[in-house]
Amino acid sequence: MVAVFQEKVTAAEIKAKARELGADIVGIADSAQLNANPPDPADPRIPANISDYDADRVVVVGKRLSAGVTRIPRWDERHKYYNDELTLTALEEITLSLVLWLEQKGYPALIVPPTHVDPWRYQGDPDKHMKPLLPLEYAAVEAGLGTLGLNRQLLTPEYGPRVMLGGVLCSAPIDCDTRREVALCHGPACGRCLAACPGDVVKHWNRDWDACDKFRSPHGFHQLTGLFTQIMSEPDKMKQKALLRSEDSFNIWQSILRGAGVLTGCRRCQDVCPVGADYEKMLKDALDQIPEDNDAKRARRAAMAAAEAKGEMPDAHREHARWIGKPPAKA
């Protein structure tokens, strides 16, 4: 861009604008850090791949999830899906307004959506996890907003993992934030995300993403293709018609209307995490008990904690230490 058409803008002004538009948290990541440190070097998803000109910075914007639905303990609750989808809509409006505001000041900008995946990399298997175009949790860590937890969810000091993220790319010459050094996660000694997970997919500083997707997106593409396959291979016409009119079919139709249950779904690990200033005052009374916990999960958490006490960290931790952070000093 020709500099003469650009107004001077600072990081503080961009953050203030994002908050005025409705963001609850906002940080600015230096794309040079993201370009140099892709979380999966074999499959880098970095700002430099999105724009040659307008991707020097990632403004990471977070909108908190509403506490009322967080307090509903069932993971498969349509109220949760729907309320979260409205949060996503609000986030999209905030990021679009921020883009237009930046462009008025002379800085071309673009949104990186939090939920959309890269269709060019689809391999014909609806059960395989599809990654987003840019890993916004990692961008949020680079932007100083938090650190990753035991199951790789982003934890923030304000709302723990109960935030939805959006990204705005631009090349305004603004100061960047820096990563937090110390981890917010309490590790397997807490392990409440593992205890509460309905799919039991939480691993030691990782999760089984394919399995998680069946819960995070319960009425998503895998359910749609599964139902179509069932309908097409059913030889009995009456049973075929019943499948067409089934609850699964109804749920898919409802979810396609708005994205609730597709772009939103299970977030039980986010609900029960004790990190975040909101937990004690808004959530603890409703979420302290975890009925999904059992002896096998307790034994796995104990084994993880024992290994860590001996200094035996899994590869998943070593590979993501930059974003998990250092363990907090013992009191």
Residues at the interface with ligand SF4 (CB under 6 A): 149-151, 153, 155, 185-187, 190-193, 197-199, 201-202, 207, 212, 215-216, 266-269, 273-275
- Minimum Å gap between C-beta 183 and ligand SF4 is 8
- Minimum Å gap between C-beta 176 and ligand SF4 is 26
Of residues 144 and 199, the one with the C-beta less far from ligand SF4: 199
Closest residue to ligand SF4 using C-beta atoms: 149
Q: Who contacts 99 (Cβ-Cβ below 8 Å, separation ≥6)?
A: 109, 110, 111, 168, 170
| CA angle centred on 217, ends 213 and 221, rounded to 5° | 90
Of residues 87 and 151, the one with the C-beta less far from ligand SF4: 151
Of residues 206 and 240, the one with the C-beta less far from ligand SF4: 206
Residue written as tokens 């999760």? 207
- Minimum Å gap between C-beta 198 and ligand SF4 is 6
Of residues 108 and 274, the one with the C-beta less far from ligand SF4: 274
- Minimum Å gap between C-beta 14 and ligand SF4 is 29
Of residues 103 and 293, the one with the C-beta less far from ligand SF4: 293
Q: Which whole-number Å values give the CA distances from 71 to 74, 112, 142, 268, 273, in the listed order?
A: 9, 29, 30, 10, 12
Of residues 91 and 197, the one with the C-beta less far from ligand SF4: 197
Residue written as tokens 């179509």? 228
What DSSP line would sit under 13-64, residue for residue?
Answer: HHHHHHHHHT-SEEEEEEHHHHHH--SSTTS---GGGT-SSS-SEEEEEEEE
- Minimum Å gap between C-beta 67 and ligand SF4 is 17
* 103 vs 1: CA distance, rounded Å: 11
Of residues 91 and 304, the one with the C-beta less far from ligand SF4: 304
Helix (H, G, I), strand (E, B) or coil at 162: coil
- Minimum Å gap between C-beta 196 and ligand SF4 is 6
Long-range contacts of 309-314 (CB under 8 A, 24+ apart): 313/205, 314/203, 314/204, 314/205, 314/206
Q: Which whole-number Å values give the CA distances from 309 to 129, 181, 215, 319, 327, in the listed order?
A: 32, 20, 32, 19, 12
By the 10 Å C-beta count (0-12 exposed, 13-18 middle, 19+ buried), 276 is classed as buried
